[in-house]
Structure 1
């Protein structure tokens, strides 16, 4: 179980589309504005995990043409997002918006987020600690996962909100943008490796 908790922590602490967008909402609109988006991410993550645990994701991804379309759509979106982040000027990687992304956006993001499937597959197919009680193990993994997932996303939201209050130099902002973009491209690499 300790190995599972360590794996969850390291899989979640690395920036992916969900945490980067959460930080962006915090940076653009503040901490309170991001709660609905994080709630959508949470429900979307739960549904994604259930799709993986039930085997539905495996059935969908077993259709080669559908799997290819979904993979390219996800990769294209993530590359686009990485380019937008890397090329952002004085903003911290996010284009200005009229209103924060809400619950539906958070929910939808998890379905096209390849990292969500990679994480769920890794955590639920590996790290068996209750082999004689698979249902109890799934429930325990869900509880442990969310005990880490929720605080990690709230920390990213708070970090974004803190960036909003800072007056960073142009150079520092560019370094942050490039770091965020590289992180997203690493997610793309993970998605491509997982698809092979």
Structure 2
């Protein structure tokens, strides 16, 4: 029982603290509201639970066997994150007009987990800390993924409602645009460690 309490506490702290996922959801809530942001929220929560299962079932061993695959995924991930940052920075261009851009989709949220540095740290940390090398490893990985799935919806959802709350105070298009620039900048900043790893061999 103490194991489960510790796991739940870890999941709450990891999911509720600031990070790329929460920045993404908060920005979507500000620009599009709760209803239109539910797909990206579900994509983040379900996508991360799936990521935990993949990591738990030994996806890291694939990288050990094929190190170049890891580099390819990192490069693709950085490019995708920069694309998402661009979407956020330009998401206020059409506010209040017929050209209003579409909110991020379920697929965007799920795919974002694989380029989210915090998601990788939390996933590998959770599997390392809350599993043991015995016959129950698969069941333990399922429990961890299930716990994060349940906990992440309210924890990440809080940031979505925070974004809609901010909408009351950022009702001027100019203010929203600067807010979106700030959020996209934070997303780019969050991936700088990954970019540093990629260019390190060439320095």
Fold-level similarity (TM above 0.5): yes
Deviation at 1:177, TM superposition (A): 5.8
- Structure 1 CA distance, aligned partners of 2:175 and 2:31? 19
Q: Tell me which residue corresponds to 2:193.
A: 189
- Structure 2 CA distance, aligned partners of 1:17 and 1:179? 9
Task: Name the CA shift for 1:157/1:61 in 2 (closer, same or farther; >3 Å).
Answer: farther
Q: Tell me which residue corresponds to 2:97.
A: none
Q: TM-score, normalised by structure 1?
A: 0.72
- Structure 2 CA distance, aligned partners of 1:124 and 1:191? 25
Q: TM-score, normalised by structure 2?
A: 0.70
Out of 126, 139, 148, the residue aligned to residue 151 of structure 2 is: 148
Task: Name the CA shift for 1:139/1:114 in 2 (closer, same or farther; >3 Å).
Answer: same
Q: Secondary structure at the match of 1:47?
A: helix
Structure 1 or 2, whichever has the larger Rg, is 2
Q: 5+ residue gaps in structure 1? A: none
Task: Name the CA shift for 1:77/1:36 in 2 (closer, same or farther; >3 Å).
Answer: closer
Would the aligned equivalents of 2:29 and 2:37 in 1 still touch at CA under 8 Å? yes
Deviation at 1:52, TM superposition (A): 0.5
Q: Tell me which residue corresponds to 1:15.
A: 18
Q: 5+ residue gaps in structure 2? A: 94-99
Q: Tell me which residue corresponds to 1:26.
A: 29
Deviation at 1:168, TM superposition (A): 7.2
Matching of residues 26-105 of structure 1 within 5 Å: 26-60=29-63, 62-78=65-81, 94-96=91-93, 97-105=100-108
Task: Name the CA shift for 1:139/1:51 in 2 (closer, same or farther; >3 Å).
Answer: closer
